[in-house]
Structure 1
Amino acid sequence: MAETVPLDSAWLKANPLPGHHDHVDKNGRGRVLVIGGCRRVPGGMLLTAEAAFRAGAGKVTIATIESAAIPIGVAFPACAVLALPETPGGEISPASAELILDEMADHDAILFGPAMIDQQIVRELLAAMLPSLPPEMFLLLDAFALRAAADHAEAIRARGDHVVLTPHEGELAGLLGLDREEVARDPASALAVAVERFGCTVMVKGATSHLMAGDTRLGYAGGGLGLAVSGSGDILAGLIASLGAQGLPPLQAAAWGIWLHGEAGRRLSEMMGPIGFLARELPPLVPGLMRGV
């Protein structure tokens, strides 16, 4: 198994953030399409979108259920919003696939899965999306999309150089058909199995987060207990998708996302206490952290 390399400032300096010249416009800064949300968690996309902007993206579009689209657009006027047909239960309808496919081409990165809770619908939408993705499109699968990914290992492998999977231990267990306790005992080994199976960049989130692509494995121990709070994963996904949209390869985008997310948590712990801060308080710290490395 590959040796774990610390994800620290030395690694980050050797793998720097993308540079932008002074005359770049918002389209050149990276365009992110976030697909997700449901009636039960209508505001989760706001967290992801803000994280994407804070990490440097120039444009963010939120594709979500039509009943939430206008409130989300008003709450975050910097975002474009795509209203999608929804089921009686308040989920994105499978009939949305064509609208999503039409929208994809105008973006540099797609983040699919946050705040969705109907596993079958997620499976159907992912099955429609994967064959139609532009070849160089950065794709991040998060939350319930990770459960659906288990059914599409070959399609993900075919474009693995452009894909990031972001499971926690339970989601990684689901991806691999293992018990969560088995993954918790040796997350690095389970991660290696996932990388071999899906052929892409995979992380496993936890008190120590592990990240692997090919023969490279990184480890980050930091951030603290306060990051174990609703919405924290939505922030992390938005950071990674933003950096991917700006041109970072999946391993580097994921590594920077993990570090920025964790260091923001560490700073909030120092300022406010180890627990009790909110996920939405993480993104404002990101620009300063990016400047400081």
Structure 2
Amino acid sequence: MTPPSPPRLTRWSPRVGERLEPLDSDWLRAHPLPQPASDADKNGRGRVLVVGGCVTVPGGIRLTAEAALRAGAGKVQVATIASAAMALGVAMPEIAVHAMPEAENGELGACGALLDTLAGRADAVIAGPAVACHDAARRLVGDLLSHDGDAELVLDAGALMVLAEHGAKVARRARPAVLTPHIGEMAALLGEPAEAIEADRPAAVRRAAERFGAVCVLKGATSLVAAPGAEALAYAGGGVGLATGGSGDVMAGIVAGLAARGASPRIAAAWAVWLHGEAGRRCAEQTGPLGFLARELLAHVPGLMRAL
């Protein structure tokens, strides 16, 4: 089989003197993931809480939950709309599922104290996958940030579309959150046109990292990882086949799984970008550059981690 062509470069190119450190196997070996003790139980390997879902995409959050497990987390719990909870639990017996209040439009309702209790038991919380309604996202992000605990926080998809309203709270967190936007979500985060962000993606991802005091991953043909006070990383990804429904849910789940294991936010984000991209490269080699599914990325993640 002919190997897939190298990924096409994005339209920006680094300015003179601008430093973008390659996110490659050498960088990853220099920044290894924490490894659990040989006698660690499932709680010792890290606990992830995944919050999201809606009636129009009831299975999307399953991708995030499985990705966290594939990244090595020992225990994953999902908080999702009540009408989807039972089916999700049956489809994925490895997780625990909590039926949350459901609004009339099939989105998450007010989760309040229940969400606070669940988040308090987690080592990492990921919020936003498959949340399509701005009102639901506002409630969710507001609930999470009003009771900020010790868990690592990963915000994706719907949560990013409303995060600008909570920027000060995110920036005050003791531990930086991880944000995983695509161009449209980055436009919402910064309140800028998508065209302006695309014209200088490194500058945009740095602005977001500084504004929110967070690790920010700007996804694309070349994905960028920025954190306050650190060099930005660049990964010239796994190909156009990754531009498919559910792919971002997978990457965000990998971040959460690695963070729950004890990786710092920047290390978890960088490894997740690489694992996600290399899984896409393997799928392209085995299936073709187009047409593989987001769920087919998942089985490649453990082997990629072992290879390094």
Listed as ranges, the matches of 1:221-260 within 5 Å are 221-260=236-275
Give the partner amino acid of 2:274: W
Q: Secondary structure at the match of 2:211?
A: helix
Give the partner amino acid of 1:16: P
How many residue pairs match? The answer is 291
Tell me the TM-score normalized by structure 1: 0.97
Q: Check whether the contact 2:140–2:159 (CA below 8 A) recurs between aligned residues.
A: no
Give the partner amino acid of 1:249: S
Return the match for 2:32 from 12, 16, 20: 16
- The residue number in structure 2 matching 1:103 is 118
Return the match for 1:195 from 202, 206, 209: 209
Return the match for 1:157 from 142, 155, 171: 171
- The residue number in structure 2 matching 1:88 is 104
Q: Check whether the contact 1:235–1:283 (CA below 8 A) recurs between aligned residues.
A: yes
- The residue number in structure 1 matching 2:134 is 119
Q: Matched residues in 1 for 2:238 and 2:42: separation?
A: 31
Q: Secondary structure at the match of 2:43?
A: helix
Tell me the TM-score normalized by structure 2: 0.93
| Structure 1: stretches of 5+ with no match in the other structure | none
Shift of 1:124: 2.0
Identity of matched residues, %: 51
Q: Check whether the contact 1:109–1:241 (CA below 8 A) recurs between aligned residues.
A: yes
Residue 65 (str. 1) matches residue 73 (str. 2): no
Q: Secondary structure at the match of 1:133?
A: coil
Return the match for 2:184 from 154, 163, 170: 170
Q: Deviations over 1:52-72 (max 9, x none)?
A: 111100000010001100000
Ranges of 4+ aligned residues in structure 1 off by more than 3 Å: none
- Output the aligned Cα RMSD: 1.1
Decide which structure has greater helix share. Answer: 1
Q: Matched residues in 1 for 2:234 and 2:108: separation?
A: 35
Q: Matched residues in 2 for 1:154 and 1:53: separation?
A: 31
Q: Matched residues in 2 for 1:30 and 1:237: separation?
A: 16
Q: Secondary structure at the match of 2:53?
A: coil
Q: Matched residues in 2 for 1:133 and 1:269: separation?
A: 40
Q: 1:162 to 1:193 in 2, by over 3 A?
A: closer
